Every structure is written in structure tokens, then in C-alpha cells.
Amino acid sequence: GAVVSQHPSWVICKSGTSVKIECRSLDFQATTMFWYRQFPKQSLMLMATSNEGSKATYEQGVEKDKFLINHASLTLSTLTVTSAHPEDSSFYICSARPETGTSGDLWNEQFFGPGTRLTVL
Amino acid sequence: GQQLNQSPQSMFIQEGEDVSMNCTSSSIFNTWLWYKQDPGEGPVLLIALYKAGELTSNGRLTAQFGITRKDSFLNISASIPSDVGIYFCAGQIGTYKYIFGTGTRLKVLA
């Protein structure tokens, strides 16, 4: 249980185009989803926190107009990188936190997706 | 952004050896977690620690939540080739926000 998927697993796009990445919780409902960015040989850096049905909360230094986040349902969050540039090339990873009230120890954990490799030419 | 400091940054060890790595912070955390990340994949949770002083094992892995709540260590006993990867610690801030460590890259020589 507690599986998170991401689509696509990798994408190559031209500079100036927009790219949408999906994050889905497959077997649980996620109150909160998180988007991280990881540059080569570096750690995961939290970009934003999204709650179903409300606006995302962005970390300091992350442009909300460039990285659009939509969390329309309890199982799906999307990250759209608008007007992508080569410096946006990175590994984008989402995680999902089960809905409050989930039994057992799952409710307090984040479950990570497999990541999406974005390359902007 | 804020990060936790992990040491060592990388290590080569012989198969069968024990491994120890740690994570320190200037801030207090209520929860410490240890993850393993294989190349091109998302991190996978190894151990979660919820109380200061707590010592928890998961197979060959043992982790402890420092008594000051500012550090944690992870030990791997009798390492095997599949232990290769990057190990990240993470501290939880507030209800659910995670701050990740700088990572320890482990390579096991058969």
C-alpha cells in the first residue's frame, strides 16, 4: 500500500514551452502533496506544499507563477513548469501524505513518487 | 533553503563491513527519518524516529534519534552490494514539512 506514481518519468522539451507533471496517490487519499526539486548530486529541496482544494504554499525563492500547482482531487496533484528554460532542468519528485484520520502509522508519513527527469533544451 | 548536514559525504566500504553515518542540525526536530535513494528514483523510507533517544532497527539497519533532538545516526551492519545508493536524513518541521540532509553516497566493494 501507499504507492505514489508520477507521469511522465522523463520529458525533454524546448526552451520556452510548458511542461505538466502529474503526481497520483494510487491506493490512498492524500490531504497534502509536496513537490521537491533535486539537482544532480544534491539533496531534495522542497518547492511547495499543496492541499486539496486550496492554493499551494511555495517555499521562499520559488516562483509561483512559473511553477503552477493544481491539487484538484485527493489523489492528483499537477506541477506545470511554465516557459521552461535550461536552468529548470532537474529531477522533480512529489510526495503525498495520507488523509488525516488514516489508521495506523501511515498518516504521519510522506510517500514519495519515482520522480520525473525534466531536460530543457 | 535550510538543510541538514550529513557526514560523511561519501564512502567506499568492503562488503561485510559495518557503516555509520550521521546527520546534524542547529534546529530541533520532532521526527527524524532516514531514506535511501537509488539513481533515477524517488527516496524510500528506511526508518522513522519519533522520540528523543529512540533507537529503532529495521533488519540490518539501526537508527537513533539524538537526545538533544538535533542529530541522528544510521548504522548498516554487514553491508552488501545492494546497499549502494544515497542515504538522506530528513527532519520534520511542524506537522508535516520535511527538511532533507545533504546526503551520504555509499559504495560497496564486493
What distance lies between CA B84 and its chain's CA centroid?
13
Q: Which residues of B touch A36 (CB under 8 A)?
A: 100
CA angle B1, B2, B5 (to 5 degrees): 130
Q: How far apart are CA B12 and CA B100, in angstroms?
A: 22
Indicate the residue of A43, A108, A109 with minimum beta-carbon distance to B88.
A43
Query: Taking the alpha carbons of B15, B24, B70, A42 in that order, is the dihedral positive or negative?
Result: negative
- What is the reported pLDDT for A101? 56
Residue A61 burial by Cβ neighbours in a 10 Å radius (0-12, 13-18, 19+): exposed
Look at residue A87 in the predicted model and tell me its pLDDT.
96
CA distance A118 to A81: 10
Q: Does the pLDDT of residue A99 top 80, yes or no?
A: no
Decide if B59 touches A, using CB distance below 8 A: no
pLDDT at A53 over 90: no
The residue-averaged pLDDT of A28-44 equals 92
